[in-house]
A and B are shown apart, each in its own frame.
Chain A
Amino acid sequence: MYNHVLDYLAETVARVPEKTAFVGENLSYTFRQVYDISRSIGSAVLSKGLNKEPVIVFMQKSPQTIVTFFGVVNAGCYYVPIDEEMPAARINLIFENCQSKLMICDNNTVKLAQELSFDGDILIFDNICDYKTDNKLLLNVRERAIDTDPIYIVFTSGSTGVPKGVCACHRSVIDYVEQLSSVLEFDENTIFGNQTPLYFDACLKELYPTLKFGATTYLIPHQLFMFPVKLVEYLNENKINTICWVVSALTMISTFNTFAAVVPKYLRTIAFGSEVFPVKQLNIWRDAVKTASFFNLYGPTEGTGMCCYYPIDREFSADETIPIGYPFKNTDILLLDNEDRQVEDGEPGEICIRGTSVTLGYYNNPDKTKEAFVQNPLNKFYPEIIYRTGDIGKKNDRGELVFLSRKDYQIKHMGHRIELGEIEVNVNVLDEIKFSGCIYDSVKNKIVLFFVGDITAAELSKAIKERLPRYMMPNNIISLKNMPFTANGKIDRVELKKIYNEKYINKN
């Protein structure tokens, strides 16, 4: 039985050492290279005296980053990916949370890294990728490894303005890789086209199945997702047959009638998630790529990647919602009402996850962990932690799970999970701002920020760029003379929506 994610790599490198594993814009690695370099990096990390600790990985998206993740894991440590896209203020909050002693950079990021408030050592990839491998020490670390040790921490939006670090262990990742691979039928001929960034759990779908099967992953250049014809041509040139993308990346292709110009020739598995896929767009895809299987995936980062899947097996009309389907094998979904009882079939309830896929919690944050990772209220007899997603769902007439709404102000925007409260906190810290309130226009998919204060929209936009990652930036900033409040003194988001709708309707 596997108890370590790199058990997959050890088997695969023995079988197909010269096969290509990961391909980036300027370089690619075979499994032999992945194995050797990750052992060198593991040895370099160990030489710094680290033992089961977080290691910051601050590198541009590339096969080198992936190998560095594995290197950290080889050292018995866990990786914390950060990215240039994150502003310094946010990265410093992550450092504060992790208290890490070591950061690994590449030549492109090291200068930026030195400007951050990091107290530990900084290693540069080029200097450690051929570090002398300490086989004895690596073996010793592996023999002491247990599958409930962490493998990564990834940071997700927090409503109080402080990002939360979701910490997952080997066992959860192995469980996810096994269940996902069997549902999506990955094998050694799978050629993945990766779209999602490496600093979220979404990339687990490609990274570890590639190791497990000896498959190949192409890291698709980010810019191609702006240019649909070039993107499909890239898929065809590289014979990519499997994609697990956020919905907005798929609809970018289908809305602009791209298939009239070029059609994907090799795709056989198309999985999507994180957002609702408009049926009209899904049908354009199904018409264009008739032989492919389509899957809707659902799951929060706290449930290790995805936890539910729905194979698109029937026709949907434009007013239907695509179900999130069924939990993966070895995962259970509870739907709980306000009194923590299981709802009747067809009734709405909070989606709660039970099983190995539940992550370890929020790193160094017992208060937030306690709120969402709770004792299963249906079990009074022994400790059993479930994760409360805050998503409301129900079972439809066919017994399939359907996502209905959120309990709070969390939104999904371009595949990213965002707390509107986190945006507001980062706006409110500016001296010029009196009040701010955010809403989401789910028709045009725009984050709309209202503010009252002595600052122009342009100045405000510039100022928050230094505090918020790009994907959290408001898409429309509107200055108000007065902020509407509810009777009990909270920002009145319903009224803000009304103001926004009126403005929009008047304009057209």
Chain B
Amino acid sequence: MEELLEILNELHPDIDFNTQQNLVDEKILDSFDIVTIISEVADVFDITISAEEIVPDNFNSASALYSLIEKKMDDED
């Protein structure tokens, strides 16, 4: 989780990603952020998020995104 928060904080240092639950609906993330997050998550966690997984539910909070990452890491083991 720490590594994910680091990626997110670098993009938006002024946002508290531990508490924010509406990153998409409140327009905190934009398409640039999504592209950057996916490519940096791929580097750090060695997983590939597929197009079908790029949906609002997976990106509305750091914890939702982290569950997706954990699930993918389990699947790829």
- Which residues in A have some Cβ–Cβ distance to B below 8 Å? 223, 225-230, 248-249, 252-253, 255-258, 260-261, 414, 444-446, 456-462, 465, 470, 475-477, 508
Contact = CB atoms under 8 A, between A and B. Distances in A.
Given A457-B13, A458-B13, A460-B13, 7 more contacts: A248-B35, A252-B34, A252-B35, A257-B50, A258-B51, A461-B12, A475-B11
A260 B54 CA distance: 14
A195 B39 CA distance: 23
Nearest to B32: A414
A248 B54 CA distance: 16
| The 8 A-B residue pairs with the shortest CB-CB distance in the complex, in nearest-first order | A258-B51, A458-B13, A462-B14, A461-B14, A256-B51, A457-B13, A226-B31, A458-B14
Given A230-B55, A470-B30, A223 B10 contact: no
B21 interface: no
Chain A binding site: helix, strand, loop or mixed by DSSP? helix
Contacts of A476: 10-11
A255 B35 CA distance: 9
B52 interface: yes
Given A248-B32, A446-B36, A256 B43 contact: no
24 contacts: A225-B31, A226-B24, A226-B29, A226-B54, A229-B51, A229-B52, A230-B55, A248-B35, A249-B31, A252-B34, A253-B51, A256-B38, A256-B49, A256-B50, A257-B51, A260-B51, A414-B32, A444-B39, A446-B36, A458-B14, A461-B13, A462-B14, A475-B11, A475-B36
Nearest to B34: A226
A456 B56 CA distance: 30
Interface in B36-67: 36, 38-39, 43, 49-52, 54-56, 59
Contacts of B55: 227, 229-230
Contacts of A223: 24, 56
A255 B34 CA distance: 12
